[in-house]
Amino acid sequence: METAVSNKGHRKIRVLVVDDSAVVRESLKLILESDPEIEVMDTAMDPFHAARKLESEVPDVITLDVEMPRMDGITFLHKIMSQHPIPVVMCSSLTREGCETTLRALEYGAVDIINKPRIGASRFLEDSRISIIDSIKAASNARVKKIPARRVAPQKKLTADAVVSPKPAERIRQTTGKVVVIGASTGGTEALRVYLEAMPLDCPPIAIVQHMPQNFTMAFANRLDTICSIEVKEAQDGDGLLKGRALIAPGNKHMVIRRSGVHYFVDIADGPLVCRHRPSVDVLFRSASQNAGRNAVGVLMTGMGDDGARGLLEMRNSGAYTIAQDENSCVVFGMPQEAIRLNAVEAILPLELIAPTVIDVCNL
């Protein structure tokens, strides 16, 4: 069999698209193959057809619908991850029920979530295309583990300047209050769970950007809130950053930190994609650098690309303590690796040591 190659001479990322809708299958195929580095090797209308195709050829990534006839996507995901793990990206609608089910899929081994393609404004379609392609590329680099059976042309990449204007560094007086800002992408849902479960009730305020589609962030925050001691919620414009509270940026919106006296708040803002993302970690980190300075702690977790790396460097230059998750505990090492390359990181830590280190740095 001839191996498909991209125009860069590398083997293309082969994707199997599994969805009961012919329209969605064709839409995903068109979107994915608009990138020269991706090839849709085949499509399947349900898990049974997909299983037969997997007998003859193994893809690099599978996109998997949640709701399908004969066998649902979660059940099929269980079979894949417990037998022959393959990176799986869940393809879901924006319904509340779909969000909650798809988040369970992340706990069962799926590496990312994408929204089903839908007709809309040209900006939405283009932003959606970028997000879907980036998710597939990230998944192709993900390190997936076997789990028990139970369980078109590149777009110009904007910087944080597009949302938060740069300004000269200024000394921000030290206060007794600290604020922690965290950025994560592929593999971040599980990493954030581990971190937040370790946080005590009197932990410093936490602001989080997790690359995730619109609506999923609320379901994700609600799920974490039920299992963590601290309060976890999807951020709303003007929310206060309080001890024992973690705010997660809503999907498709940027989040910035604002300071009033010794208190911190978040503002939720529209704006273009920054580092190909909205919300962007760079945007959050820059606002922390400008408004919290050395009172901040920055943490960059697992994820593909470089979102957050430059922002973490700005934080370090403003006196903040900065941490990157180490390679062995990352699903994808891209974002932390880029921050390390830029010398933006003071500590490189395995996931299980990040929370204790933050607690120690904040003198809790």
* Spatial separation of the C-alpha atoms in residues 9 and 3, rounded to whole Å: 11
Residue 2: both structure tokens together: 């001839």
Scan for tokens 């990312």, then name that residue: 112
Secondary structure string (H, E, C) spanning 159-182:
CHHHCCCCCCCCCCCCCCCCEEEE
Crossing angle of helices 188-197 and 216-227, in 10° steps, is 30
The C-alpha angle 313, 318, 322, rounded to 5 degrees, equals: 50
Q: Which of 140, 185, 289, 329 is catalytic?
A: 185
Contacts of 347 by beta carbon, 8 Å cutoff, 6+ apart: 321, 322, 323, 324, 357
Scan for tokens 């009730």, then name that residue: 201
Is 211 in the active site? yes
Scan for tokens 């939720």, then name that residue: 268
Is 84 in the active site? no
SS3 23: helix
Output 5-11 pairs: Cβ under 8 A, ≥24 positions apart: 6/36, 6/37, 7/36, 8/36, 8/37, 10/37
Q: Which of 65, 112, 239, 307 is catalytic?
A: 307
Is 277 in the active site? no
DSSP state of 127: H
Q: Which of 65, 128, 211, 239 is catalytic?
A: 211
Element (H, E) at 30: helix 22-32
Active site residues: 185, 211, 307
